[in-house]
Amino acid sequence: MKTKSLVALLLTSATLISSPARAANSAPLAVPIAQTVPDAKDVPYPGTIKLDIDASDTVRGVYRVTETIPVAAGTRTLTLLYPQWLPGNHGPRGPLAELVDLSFTAGGQKLEWKRDPVEVYAFHVTLPEGASEVVAKFIHTSPLQSSEGRITMTPDMLNLQWEKMSLYPAGHYVRQITIQPFVTLPAGFTAATALDGLAQQGNRWAWAPTNYEVLIDSPIFAGRYFRKWDLGQKVTLNVIADKAEQLEAKPEQIDLHRNLVTEARLAFGANHFDHYEFLLALSDKIGSIGLEHHRSSENQLEPGAFTEWDKYEFDRNLLPHEYGHSWSGKYRRPARLWTPDYRQPMQGDLLWTYEGQDQFWGTVLAARSGLQGKPVVLGMLAAWAGNFAEQAGRRWRSVEDTGSDPVFAARKPKPFASLARSEDYYTEGALVWLEADQIIRAGTGGRKSIDDFAKLFFGMNDGDWGQLPFEVDEIVTKLNQVHPYDWKRFFETRIGTPGQPVPLGGIEKGGYKLVWKDEPNPYDKGRYADAKVNSLTYSLGVTIDKDAKVTATQWDSPAFNAGVVSGSKIVAVNGVTYDADALKKAVTAAKSGGPLELLFQRGDRFQTVRIDYKGGLRYPWLERAAPGKAPTGLDLLLAPKRPVKAKK
Pairing of strands 62-70, 77-81: unpaired
Of 341 and 355, which CB lies nearer to Zn ion in the complex structure?
355
Residues that bind Zn ion (rule: CB under 5 A) add up to a total of 1
CB of 430 to Zn ion, least distance (A): 11
SS3 252: helix
CB of 329 to Zn ion, least distance (A): 7
Alpha carbon distance 210, 546 (integer Å): 48
Provide the 8-state DSSP code for 144. Answer: S
Q: What number of other Cβ atoms are within 10 A of residue 136's Cβ?
A: 23
CB of 359 to Zn ion, least distance (A): 7
Pairing of strands 122-126, 605-610: unpaired
**Distances from the Cα of 547 to the Cα of 414, 531, 585, angstroms:** 19, 12, 19
Of 277 and 292, which CB lies nearer to Zn ion in the complex structure?
292
Residues 6+ apart with CB under 8 A from 382: 514, 521, 523, 524, 620, 621, 622
> Under rule CB under 5 A, which residues in 324-383 are in contact with Zn ion?
355
Residues 6+ apart with CB under 8 A from 284: 242, 302, 303
CB of 292 to Zn ion, least distance (A): 6
CB of 552 to Zn ion, least distance (A): 23
Of 159 and 543, which CB lies nearer to Zn ion in the complex structure?
159
Of 93 and 584, which CB lies nearer to Zn ion in the complex structure?
93
CB of 342 to Zn ion, least distance (A): 18
Which one-letter amino acid corresponds to residue 488?
A: K
> Under rule CB under 5 A, which residues in 156-195 are in contact with Zn ion?
none
Provide the 8-state DSSP code for 264. Answer: H
Q: What stretch of H or E contains 544?
A: strand 542-544
Nearest C-alpha neighbor of 377 from the set 316, 432, 301, 438: 316
Of 156 and 277, which CB lies nearer to Zn ion in the complex structure?
277
Alpha carbon distance 183, 515 (integer Å): 54
SS3 483: coil
Alpha helices in 87-128 (DSSP H): none
CB of 234 to Zn ion, least distance (A): 22
CB of 362 to Zn ion, least distance (A): 8
Of 262 and 326, which CB lies nearer to Zn ion in the complex structure?
326
Of 223 and 406, which CB lies nearer to Zn ion in the complex structure?
406
Alpha carbon distance 323, 122 (integer Å): 33
Q: Residue 59 in contact with residue 158, Cβ under 8 Å?
A: no
Of 355 and 428, which CB lies nearer to Zn ion in the complex structure?
355
Alpha carbon distance 392, 414 (integer Å): 14
Cα dihedral 70, 173, 137, 120 in deg (nearest 10): 130
Which residue number has the CB closest to Zn ion? 355
CB of 328 to Zn ion, least distance (A): 8
Of 425 and 512, which CB lies nearer to Zn ion in the complex structure?
425
Of 426 and 465, which CB lies nearer to Zn ion in the complex structure?
426
> Under rule CB under 5 A, which residues in 507-566 are in contact with Zn ion?
none
SS3 256: helix
CB of 325 to Zn ion, least distance (A): 6
> Under rule CB under 5 A, which residues in 428-447 are in contact with Zn ion?
none
Summarize as ranges the residues that interact with Zn ion (CB under 5 A).
355
